[in-house]
């Protein structure tokens, strides 16, 4: 892609990115772990907005396992959000690889 063409289209791209940011704020993805014992939902800003725990995994004798399950579910939700963002932004970015997405 010609860098000068990119500069010409920068204003339009900025508007598209602003619209995408607003759209992503409303997106939600859920990741799970432990066979759906732990479910974590994140928004488009990668903030955890919900967590659901199966009562079977709430065992005060095994808190480290629950902590690991929560981390794994959060990681899965963030990965799902990154994939969703890639699919939404892909056509707009014309194949450019943006780190973190």
How many other C-beta atoms are found inside a 10 Å radius of the C-beta of residue 33?
Answer: 20
> Where are the chain's structural domains?
3-91
Sign, CA torsion 70/72/76/82:
positive
Handedness of CA 14, 83, 65, 56 (dihedral sign): positive
Task: Return per-residue pLDDT of the chain as tens, 101 residues.
Answer: 566 666 667 777 777 778 877 887 788 999 999 999 999 999 988 899 999 999 988 888 889 999 999 999 999 999 999 998 888 877 766 666 655 55
Rounded to whole angstroms, the Cα distance separating 74 from 32 reads: 8
Q: What is the CATH number of domain 3-91?
A: 3.30.1310.10
Cα dist. 45→7, 22, 57, 85 in Å?
Answer: 27, 10, 28, 11
> What is the reported pTM?
0.67
């Amino acid at each position: 892609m010609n860098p000068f063409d990119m500069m010409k289209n920068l204003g339009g791209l900025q508007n598209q990115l602003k619209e995408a940011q607003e759209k992503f704020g409303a997106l939600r993805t859920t990741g799970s772990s432990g066979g759906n014992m732990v479910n974590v939902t994140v928004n488009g800003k990668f903030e955890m907005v919900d967590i659901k725990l199966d009562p079977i995994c709430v065992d005060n004798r095994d808190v480290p396992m629950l902590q690991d399950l929560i981390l794994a579910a959060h990681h899965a939700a963030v990965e799902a959000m990154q994939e969703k963002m890639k699919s939404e932004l892909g056509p707009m970015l014309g194949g450019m690889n943006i780190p973190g997405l």
